[in-house]
Amino acid sequence: MAMVTMMAHIAQKCNFCEHDAVYDGKTTFGPWAYMCENCFTLFGIKKRGLFKELPKPAAVIQHEGMHSCIACGCILPVEDFDTYVDKQGKERYMYLCRKCAKRIE
């Protein structure tokens, strides 16, 4: 069975200063990076095709003890979601409810 990867649009942090990123683009150092407005001014190559403005993150509806699934759009109790630990060591809920995750497997 083919594996499907679903990505939720989340706010990216600037690779230089940890502010919210506004651009994804090529830098004067060579590699591409997520950059805030200020770091893009300092390090970004402002040439068409070498950067793109990031979309604004979608609003997340939060209710105490509830979480929304990006596949079915339902707002369900957190017990219906698996958890994972992010890079900062914080426990978070998966983006898919267990029902949708099983359907994609």
Which tens digits make up the pLDDT trace of 11-22?
Answer: 789 999 989 899
Rounded distance between C-alpha atoms, residue 20 and residue 56, angstroms: 10
The string of pLDDT tens digits covering residues 44-97 is: 999 988 888 887 765 555 567 888 888 887 888 889 999 999 888 888 888 889
Rounded distance between C-alpha atoms, residue 38 and residue 14, angstroms: 10
Q: Is residue 80 part of a domain?
A: yes
Residues 15 and 53 grouped into a single domain: yes
Taking the CB of residue 50, how many other CB atoms lie within 10 A of it?
12
Q: Is residue 3 part of a domain?
A: no
- Taking alpha carbons only, the member of 63, 53, 62, 73 closest to residue 8 is 73
pLDDT at site 33: 94
pTM, rounded to two decimals: 0.48
Residues 48 and 16 grouped into a single domain: yes
Structure confidence at residue 5 as a pLDDT band (50, 70, 90): very low
Contact between 61 and 69 under an 8 Å Cβ cutoff? The reply is: no
Q: Is residue 95 part of a domain?
A: yes
pLDDT at site 64: 74
Domain count, the chain: 2
Q: Is residue 1 part of a domain?
A: no
Average pLDDT over residues 26-41: 94
Residues 80 and 45 grouped into a single domain: no
Q: Is residue 4 part of a domain?
A: no
Q: What is the per-residue DSSP string for 71-102?
A: TT--EEEGGGEEEEE-TTS-EEEEEEEHHHHH
Q: Is residue 2 part of a domain?
A: no
Contacts of 86 (CB under 8 A, 6+ apart): 92
Structure confidence at residue 40 as a pLDDT band (50, 70, 90): very high
What is the span of the domain harbouring residue 51? 9-58
